[in-house]
Amino acid sequence: MREGSWRGDRRAWIAVLVALSSSLLFVGLVSNLPIAILSGAGHDDAWFWLRARAIASGSWLGGYDQHTLIKGPGYPLFLAVNHGLGLSVATSQALLYSVACLLLGHAIYRVSDRPGLSLLLVVAMQWHPAAMTWTRVLRDNLSASQALLVLACVLQAVWVARSPRARLAWASAAGVTLGWFWTTREDGIWMLPGVALLLLAGAGWAWRDRAQRRSVLAACAWTVLATLAWLSLVATTNGLKYGAFTTVELKSPAFSDALGALQGVREGDVVPFVPVPERVREAVYAVSPSFARLRPALEEGDRFWLRPGCTLYGQTCGDYAGGWFLWALRDAAASVGAHASAPTADAFYAGLADEVRRACEDGRLTCKRPLLQLMPAATAEQWRSLPGRLRTAAGLLSWQGVQEAPFRSHLDHPGNADMWRFVGGPRVPDKAEALGDRAVGWMRDPHGGWIRGRCGADDRIIAIDRLPSPDVAAHLDDPTTVHNRFRFRPPGPDCDIELPGAGRLALSAVEATPGAFSLGGAQLYLDGLEAIPPQAVAPAWSATVKRGVWLAYERGLPWLAGAGLLAFAWALLRAFGQRRLGVLLVLAATGWGLVASRALLLALVDLSSFPALNHQYLQAAFPLLVLAAIASLAAASERPVRGGDPTPGDSPGGSP
C-alpha cells in the first residue's frame, strides 16, 4: 500500500468491506447446501469419518487392516478438528475456502497495490460454482482451499513480508499447508512445479538485493523444510502406531513395487483398462509363491471388485478393471493374513515384487517397465485419445458440460446418523419423509420367536426383517443368533416393538439408549434410535441461488479464460522483449502451469485407469484458472516499467 494516500486507503478499505461481506454471504449459502451422508462408502466418505472419529478419540487412525493407510490423514484431521469445534462440515469448508481466497487476495494487493484487482480475484474465485458442489464428505472439498493457501503463504513469505521473522513465519505456514495438502491426496506432486516457480522467481529477484537476499533464500529453504517436517511427522506417527514409516501405504516402496511389477508383466496384447489381465495373473501364479497364495481370493468366490469396472467399461466384464485391481489385491492379501500388521504387509509385498522381478530377469516372464510406477499399460488407441481427453478437461475447466451427480444419503445404513452427527449435522439432500427415527438393535428369544412393529390407533402390523449379526452370535456364543439384528423405521410417532405372545415395547417411552429390555422371556437390546431431523433438509432457496451462479459462470467463464490466455501470451512476449518478469506475470504463469499439470495428470488417469475427468477431481484447478486469467489480464494491462529494479514487495506496479 502506498504511504500517505488517503484515497488509496479508502479504496482498500472499501475492497476489504466488500470482500468480507462477500465471504459472509458465501459461507451462509454453502452452509445451507446439502451434503449426502454416505456412511456405506467404505473406501471414501465412510473411511474419512471413521478415521476422523478414531483421531478424535485419541487412537490415531484406529486399528490396522488393509484399509487403515490407504489414504492420507489430511482430511480426517480436518474432520476431527471440525468435530471438536462443533461446526457443520459444510460451514467449516466454506470458511476455510473464504479465508484462502482472502489471504491470496491480500497478498496480491500487497504486491500490486491494486485493491480493485484483489477484490475482483477474491469474489471471482470465491463464488465459483465448483465451491458449491461439495455434495459429499470427501477430501476433494479441501483441495482448492489448500492450493490457494499454499500460494498465498509463499507470496507472503517471498514478496510481501519484510522482516526475517515474518518471512520464516509465512514460510512455515506455506510448508505445513503444502505438507497437509500432500497428506490429503496421494497425487499432490502436481502442485510442486507451481510452488517451485514462485520460490525460484523470488530467490532470483532477491539475489540482486543484498538487503533481502539472505532472508528470502532462508524463507525458500524453510518452506521446503517445513513441508518435509509435516510429512515426517505423519510418517513417524504411522511408524510408531503401525510399524510403517510412510504417509500412505499405497505409496510405500513395497506396495508400489509389487503393483508396478504385476502391471509390467506381458502375456499377449495389452487389454485396455485391465492392468493385470487373467492370463497375466495365471502366468504370475506359476512363478510367484506369494502371488499364488492370493489365487483363491482373486479367482473364486464373490469377487466384488469385478463389478465396478464392468459397469463403466463393458469390455472389462469378468476381469479387474483399472483402479479397482489394487483394492482386489489388498483384500486378497488380507484374506491370507498378509495384513495382520503393517510390517507383515510390507514384507509380503516386497517378497511378491522380488519374485516377479526375478522371474522377469531370468526370462520366465516377459516384462516391460511401466511408464509410471502405478499407471497401468495403455494401448496405442488409448494414447491417441489423450488430446480429446485434454479437450474434455478444458471444457470442464471453463465450466462447460459439468454434471453434478444427484447423491442421496445412505439412510438405511447403520452408521448414517452417527456420521451425520459427527460431521456437525449438515443439511442433507433427502426428503423429509425419508428421515426420522430408526430403532436399531438385536433380540434373542429362547423359543425362537421374532419381533414385529405394531403402529397407530388401528394396530397396523409392520414386518421387521432379520439382519446378519455375527457380532451378536460371537458375543453370546450362540450360533443360532447370526441373524438377530434389526433396524425398524416407525412410520409414525405411535409405534411399538412387539414379540407376539410376550409383550410390547413402546418406542415413545424409550428415553435413553442403548438399553436392554425384557419381552417375556426374550431379551431385546436397543443400540440406539438413529435420527436425522426433518429440519436438516436443505432449503429450496439455496438451490435456486446456486443455479443462478452456475449459469453465470457457464456463460462467462469461457470468455474470461480465452481473454486471459491471449493476455498471458501478450504479457509474456512483452516481458521477454523487456527482459523482465513482473510478479503478476509470474503468478499468472504459476496458475496456468498448475491448471495444465492437473488436467494432464487427470487425463492420464482417465485414459488408463478410471473416469477421472470430472469436477470433483478438478476442484483445485477451478479457482487457479480464475486466478491465472485475471492475473494475466492485469499483467498485460500494466505499463512498462523503466529504470532500476525495485526489491520484492516495493513495486506498486507488481514488477520487481
What pLDDT, in 10s, does the model give residues 114-148?
Answer: 999 999 999 999 999 999 999 999 999 999 999 99
Check residue 217 and give its pLDDT.
Answer: 87
Measured distance CA(364)–CA(240) in Å, rounded: 40
Indicate the residue type of 170.
W
Share of the chain above pLDDT 90, in %: 59
Q: Is the pLDDT of residue 562 over 50?
A: yes
Mean local confidence (pLDDT), 64-78: 95
pTM of the model: 0.85
Q: Is the pLDDT of residue 210 over 90?
A: no
CA quadruple 70, 75, 76, 81: dihedral, nearest 10? 170
Check residue 140 and give its pLDDT.
Answer: 95
- DSSP assigned state of 157: I
Give Cβ neighbours of residue 444 (< 8 Å, ≥ 6 apart).
Answer: 472, 476, 478, 481, 484, 522, 523
Q: Which is nearest to 315 in space by CA: 278, 276, 282, 274? A: 274
What SS3 class is residue 512? coil
Length of the chain, in residues:
656
Mean local confidence (pLDDT), 242-257: 93
- DSSP assigned state of 265: B
Mean local confidence (pLDDT), 493-508: 82
Q: Is the pLDDT of residue 532 over 80?
A: no
What SS3 class is residue 501? coil
Q: Is the pLDDT of residue 433 over 70?
A: no
Give Cβ neighbours of residue 483 (< 8 Å, ≥ 6 apart).
Answer: 466, 467, 468, 469
pLDDT-wise least confident of 128-142, 158-172, 380-394: 158-172
For 568-613, what is each residue's pLDDT tens digit? 999 999 988 887 778 899 999 999 999 999 999 999 999 999 999 9
Check residue 446 and give its pLDDT.
Answer: 87
